[in-house]
Amino acid sequence: MQKIDLTNKNVFITGTSGFIGFFLAKRLLEEVEGIHIIGLDNMNDYYDVSLKEWRLKELSVYDNYTFIKGNLADKECINKIFEEYKPSVVVNLAAQAGVRYSITNPDAYIESNIIGFYNILEACRYNMPEHLVYASSSSVYGGNKKVPFSTNDKVDNPVSLYAATKKSDELLAHSYSKLYNIPSTGLRFFTVYGPAGRPDMAYFGFTNKLINGDKIQIFNYGNCKRDFTYIDDIVEGIIRVMQGAPEQKLGEDGLPLTPYAVYNIGNSNPENLLDFVNILQEELVRAGVLPEDYDFEAHKELVPMQLGDVPVTYADTSALERDYGFKPSTPLRDGLRKFAEWYKEFYNK
């Protein structure tokens, strides 16, 4: 592994007005001396833009943060950023997210997740950063029956277009790492949650619906398990990975070995959806988001599995632990408590 010191480096992070990108940029800006972060986001309206604007405003107070409003699929924009700032480390977190949305809006996924990532790889090819880190997803495991999911498992059965684009990104990164000796690491995130998260995620969407008196739909009649991973654990994992790139070295034949790796980042503790909903409602009451006498049972509806969904996600993180000495461990209740408290403050309910 090649060690990378982030001190005084230019770091290019895409998706900095998004959930993970925001928290990653904020922590790096606060903790790494002399770092300069170039953040890109297209500020699209996939979900509430005011939340993205709030995140952008939070980052704008840092002198060493440069924001560029632009689109990953705009090759000229990406090339210009690489030529001007010559980033030492690139973290590609911008993507069109969401499994269900990919069924109704496939164009957005091809544009952002395929063409956009190709533009990043091409720019890396000509400007050679020390390390390219990019977001993959637990969705690549598709309908795999063997759990926990290991990065050694075959992932050839995506059940959504979103999953297919993420697997494609891993393949594209592998080919560029092989051809041009670009050190790249893909991170398969497992159900990320926390304060200032994505409103399309279950915990956030459920909260909005319950406040409005709407029913929440619990898929597969509650027989779903998700490996919920708290945002701080995800950020810690990314920062550790950023500082350790796959080694560029020659094989026995004198040709470069592919400096490529993929890791899971998950809590390794899948929670049943019904248990998750019970914890969420308890924490929403505790934070004062919902009244103590709220009739939760009247607002729950058990429904069949949705197209593109999988019954279980469960991360084997032994490789991350072995190579970077880190294992996510935030208990679900602790994370949902922080979300509920943030929600109360942000929306002033």
Q: Which residues are catalytic?
A: 162
Where does residue 224 fall: left (phi above 0), alpha (psi -120 to 50 degrees), or beta otherwise?
A: beta
How big, in percent rounded to 5, are the helix, strand and coil portions of the chain?
A: 45, 20, 40
DSSP 214: P
Strands 2-3, 244-245: parallel, antiparallel or unpaired by DSSP? antiparallel
Contacts of residue 348, defined as CB under 8 A and 6 or more positions apart, other chains included, come to none
Task: Output b/e per residue, 271-304; b: 16+ Cβ within 10 A.
Answer: bebeebbebbbbbbbebebbeeebebeebbeeee
Contacts of residue 104, defined as CB under 8 A and 6 or more positions apart, other chains included, come to none
Taking the C-alpha atoms of residue 168 and residue 180, their distance in angstroms, rounded to an integer, is 18
Taking the C-alpha atoms of residue 188 and residue 139, their distance in angstroms, rounded to an integer, is 8
Taking the C-alpha atoms of residue 29 and residue 26, their distance in angstroms, rounded to an integer, is 5
Establish whether the linkage from the previous residue to 148 is cis, with ω within 30° of 0: yes
Specify the residue for token string 């949902």. Answer: 336
Give CA separation, 325 vs 39, 137, 259, in Å.
Answer: 28, 21, 20
Give CA separation, 239 vs 46, 93, 309, in Å.
Answer: 27, 13, 29
Are 313 and 226 spatial neighbours (Cβ–Cβ below 8 Å)?
Answer: yes
